[in-house]
């Protein structure tokens, strides 16, 4: 088990001893909007399409659309198109640095169903006569799914993940994905036994996109058979089916809104590293959706990311490396905003904690006697930043484990530390910014090549082409 795994087990045992969830970190490390767009979905059986969708701003009454039989392609497509029109309004092809749209979903299953709809509608030719808007909605679903995979994004938020990032729950990790279970633990029912019983009762109800099996058999099964036998014309049965589905999807929507309210009521200050990450999130979303959509609206041909995979091995490797570097960037940005996170990196060997024993501003060097209890994997040339400082960067030039001393040279800024001053140096990896530059250059080259290929031939070009023939 890794050190981080051991820490996690120890934290959950402390929460169990306290009889309640404990706060994770001293700051709020979730960048949640004041009024996000909340969406919940429900499906019947193993269908890859929703039977009901609830959506709307967290501060408003949700809209609900449903279909009595999700096996009927046209009815589902019309429902998704109605929902998608509202989603397109919420995620316009505009860039606003002062605000950002945010999608809040109850848990991962709801995101997965959005992704399945991206498969179904991004490039489909049927079942509607005019598939233009539905194709656009499908591509928006895919852009949202791809954006969620970026560790530094704040565009798509899963309520269950957000609560786990804020609190340590005294329960098995396998139960942490159940949103109602987590919310009941946060309610002050008294002692640990009362909280646990309330959370266990809440866990009995399904909050994912799938309905509880017994409930589905009892409330949906027979009615759906009768509706099918009537050639989908029996209005009372259709109404009864929609009533059940809409109640279920509204329950899930309300849970996501309750999670949003719980997060907004948290009195911890937001981690200021979130501001750094927000700008990167906006750039990522602009690359995935805003700029391609603007080009499409202006009549240009646009390359949209596929729903299955990167067809190019180079693109797949580039994406994997970007995600890995973005994870490191998020970790570092949040560590500079919360000393507890910084100390957790010290325990993992990703930061150095110690005392300044020499600082030479003329020679631009720094000597630290470190007191990490665990061994540090020192690598010569690694760049560090002092806790809470973005202007100063130092590079490791050597270390002597026998006397626990490390030497650094200043790469950027000026070192002005007092002898005897306590210091935490957090590992800094600039490769993320290098990778972003490479990606931008690659995209610009691809765009220029595409424009060149689409441009009409000049007369000299036509003559050369004729000569080649």
What domain count does the chain have? 3
Residue 316 inside a domain? The answer is no
Task: Give me the pLDDT at residue 326, please.
Answer: 87
Boundary (domain end) residue, out of 308, 325, 351: 308
pLDDT digit of tens for each residue in the chain (469 aa)? 334 667 789 999 999 999 999 999 999 999 999 999 999 999 998 888 999 999 999 999 999 999 999 999 999 999 999 999 999 999 998 877 667 899 999 999 999 999 999 999 999 999 999 999 999 999 999 999 999 999 999 999 999 999 999 999 999 998 999 999 999 999 999 899 999 999 999 999 999 999 999 999 999 999 999 999 898 888 999 999 999 999 999 999 999 999 999 999 999 999 999 988 998 899 899 989 999 999 999 999 888 888 876 677 777 787 888 888 888 889 999 999 999 999 989 888 889 999 999 877 665 888 999 987 667 778 888 999 999 887 889 999 999 888 899 999 988 887 778 889 999 999 988 766 655 655 555 555 444 444 444 444 444 333 333 334 3
114 and 248 inside one domain: yes
pLDDT at 396: 93
Confirm if 66 and 187 have CB atoms less than 8 A apart: no
Beta-carbon contacts of residue 64 (< 8 Å; ≥ 6 apart): 52, 53, 54, 246, 249, 250
Clarify whether residues 73 and 186 are in a common domain.
yes
Rounded Cα distance between 114 and 201, Å, is 28
Q: Quick check: is 322 in a domain?
A: no
Q: Are residues 38 and 108 in the same domain?
A: yes
Residues 353 and 454 in one domain: no
Considering only CA atoms, which of 24, 188, 203, 223 is closest in space to residue 107? 203
In a domain, 252, yes or no: yes
CB 354 within 8 A of CB 405: no
The span from the CA of 31 to the CA of 273, in Å, is 10
Q: Which residues, 6+ apart, have CB-to-CB distance to 396 below 8 Å?
A: 378, 379, 380, 381, 382, 383, 384, 406, 407, 408
Q: What is the pLDDT of residue 446?
A: 47
Same domain, residue pair 422 and 452:
no
Question: Which of 308, 334, 354 is the endpoint of a domain?
Answer: 308
Hunting for tokens 């570092």 — which residue is that? 332
In a domain, 315, yes or no: no
Contact between residue 84 and residue 76 where contact means Cβ atoms under 8 Å apart = no
DSSP 173: G
Q: For residue 366, list its beta bridge partners.
A: 359, 408
Q: From CA 305, how far away is CA 129, in angstroms rounded? A: 24
Phi, psi values for residue 275, rounded to 5° = -65, -40
Q: Are residues 161 and 60 in the same domain?
A: yes
- What pLDDT score does 432 carry? 65
Contact residues for 280 (Cβ-Cβ < 8 A; gap 6+): 152, 153, 326, 329
Q: How far apart are the first and last CA of the chain?
A: 67
Q: Is residue 336 situated within a structural domain?
A: no
| Same domain membership, residue 389 and residue 445 | no
Please provide the DSSP assignment of 55-108 as one string.
EEETTSPPEEEE-S-TT-HHHHHHHHHHHHHHHHHHS-S---TT----EEESSH
**425 and 436 co-located in one domain:** no
Q: Clarify whether residues 159 and 295 are in a common domain.
A: yes
Backbone angles phi, psi at 166, to 5 degrees: -100, -30
Strands 422-428 and 351-360: antiparallel
Report the distance separating Cα 50 and Cα 281, nearest Å: 28
- The CATH number covering residue 381 comes to 2.40.30.120
Q: Which residue is associated with the tokens 């704040």?
A: 154
Q: Looking at the structure, tell me whether residues 387 and 441 fall in a common domain.
A: no
Q: Considering the domain boundaries, does residue 317 fall inside one?
A: no
| Closest among 29, 31, 74, 26 to 49, alpha carbons compared | 74
* Same-domain check for residues 140 and 220: yes
For residue 324, being part of any structural domain is answered with: no
Sign of the dihedral defined by the CA atoms of residues 286, 292, 293, 299, in that order: positive
The span from the CA of 410 to the CA of 366, in Å, is 7
Distances (CA, A) of 191 to 10, 64, 188, 203: 20, 38, 8, 18
Q: What pLDDT is attached to residue 368?
A: 92
274 falls within a domain: yes
- Please count the other Cβ atoms lying within 10 Å of the Cβ belonging to residue 408: 24
pLDDT of the residue at 437: 56
* Same domain as 213, residue 266: yes
pLDDT of residue 98: 67
Which domain covers residue 436, as residue numbers? 432-468
């Amino acid at each position: 088990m890794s050190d981080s795994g051991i820490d996690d087990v120890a934290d959950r045992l402390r929460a169990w001893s306290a009889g309640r969830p404990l706060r994770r970190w001293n700051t709020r490390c979730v960048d949640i909007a004041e009024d996000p767009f909340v969406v919940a979905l429900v499906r019947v059986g193993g269908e890859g399409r929703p039977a009901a969708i609830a959506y709307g701003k967290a501060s408003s009454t949700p809209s609900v659309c449903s279909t009595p039989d999700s096996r009927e392609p046209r009815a589902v497509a019309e429902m998704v198109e109605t929902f998608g029109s509202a989603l397109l309004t919420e995620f316009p092809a505009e860039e606003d640095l002062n605000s950002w749209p945010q999608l809040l979903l109850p848990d991962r299953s709801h995101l997965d169903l959005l992704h399945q709809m991206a498969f179904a509608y991004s490039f489909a030719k049927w079942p509607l006569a005019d598939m233009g808007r539905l194709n656009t909605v499908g591509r928006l679903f895919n852009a949202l799914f791809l954006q969620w995979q970026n560790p530094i994004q704040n565009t798509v938020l899963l309520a269950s993940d957000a609560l786990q990032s804020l609190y340590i729950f005294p329960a098995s990790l396998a139960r942490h994905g159940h949103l109602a279970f987590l919310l009941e633990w946060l309610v002050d029912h008294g002692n640990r036994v009362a909280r646990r019983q309330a959370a266990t009762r809440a866990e009995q109800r399904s909050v994912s996109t799938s309905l509880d099996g017994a409930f589905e058999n009892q409330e949906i099964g027979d009615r759906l058979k009768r509706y099918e036998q009537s050639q989908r014309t029996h209005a009372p049965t259709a109404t009864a089916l929609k009533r059940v589905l809409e109640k279920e999807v509204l329950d899930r929507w309300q849970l996501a809104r309750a999670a949003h309210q719980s997060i907004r009521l948290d009195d911890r200050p937001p981690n200021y590293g979130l501001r750094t990450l927000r700008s990167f999130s906006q750039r990522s979303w602009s690359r995935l959706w805003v700029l391609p959509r603007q080009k499409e609206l202006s009549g240009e041909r646009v390359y949209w990311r596929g729903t299955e995979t990167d067809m190019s091995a180079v693109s797949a490797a580039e994406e994997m490396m970007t995600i890995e570097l973005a994870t490191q960037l998020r970790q570092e940005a949040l560590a500079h905003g919360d000393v507890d996170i910084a100390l957790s990196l010290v325990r993992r060997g990703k930061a150095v904690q110690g005392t300044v024993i020499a600082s030479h501003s003329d020679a631009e060097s720094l000597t630290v006697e470190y007191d990490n209890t665990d061994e540090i994997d020192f690598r010569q040339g690694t760049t560090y930043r002092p806790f809470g400082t973005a202007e100063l960067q130092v590079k490791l030039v050597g270390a002597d484990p026998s006397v626990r001393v490390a030497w650094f040279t200043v790469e950027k800024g000026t070192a002005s530390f007092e002898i005897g001053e306590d210091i935490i140096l957090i590992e800094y990896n600039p490769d993320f910014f290098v990778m972003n530059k490479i990606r931008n250059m690659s995209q610009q080259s691809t765009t220029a090549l595409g424009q060149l290929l689409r441009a009409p031939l000049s007369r000299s070009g036509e003559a050369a082409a004729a000569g080649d023939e």
